[in-house]
A and B are shown apart, each in its own frame.
Chain A
Amino acid sequence: GAVVSQHPSRVICKSGTSVKIECRSLDFQATTMFWYRQFPKQSLMLMATSNEGSKATYEQGVEKDKFLINHASLTLSTLTVTSAHPEDSSFYICSAPSLLLAKNIQYFGAGTRLSVL
Chain B
Amino acid sequence: AQTVTQSQPEMSVQEAETVTLSCTYDTSESNYYLFWYKQPPSRQMILVIRQEAYKQQNATENRFSVNFQKAAKSFSLKISDSQLGDTAMYFCAFVRYSGGYNKLIFGAGTRLAVHP
Chain B residues with CB under 8 A of A49: 101, 103
Selected interface stretch from A19-27, A71-79, A80-88, A106-114: A106-114
A62, B109: Cα distance in complex, Å: 22
Smallest Cβ distance from A33 to chain B, in angstroms? Answer: 9
Task: List B79-105 residues whose CB lies under 8 Å from chain A.
Answer: 91, 95, 97, 100-104
Number of A-B contacts (CB under 8 A): 53
Smallest Cβ distance from A38 to chain B, in angstroms? Answer: 8
Q: CB distance A110 to B44 under 8 Å?
A: yes
Smallest Cβ distance from A4 to chain B, in angstroms? Answer: 10
Other-chain residue from A46, A99, A105 in contact with B50 (beta carbon distance below 8 A) = A105
Interface residues on chain B, number (Cβ under 8 Å): 24
Smallest Cβ distance from A5 to chain B, in angstroms? Answer: 12
Closest 3 CB pairs of A and B: A108-B45, A32-B101, A43-B106
Smallest Cβ distance from B48 to chain A, in angstroms? Answer: 12
A95, B106: Cα distance in complex, Å: 13
Query: A97-B101, A99-B101, A103-B33 in contact; A111/B44 too (CB < 8 A)?
Result: yes
Q: CB distance B108 to A104 under 8 Å?
A: no
Chain A residues with CB under 8 A of B111: 41
Query: Does A34 lie at the interface of the complex (its beta carbon under 8 Å from any beta carbon of B)?
Result: yes
Query: Does B11 lie at the interface of the complex (its beta carbon under 8 Å from any beta carbon of A)?
Result: no
Query: Does A28 lie at the interface of the complex (its beta carbon under 8 Å from any beta carbon of B)?
Result: no
| Nearest neighbor of A45 in chain B, beta-carbon distance | B106
Chain B residues with CB under 8 A of A99: 101
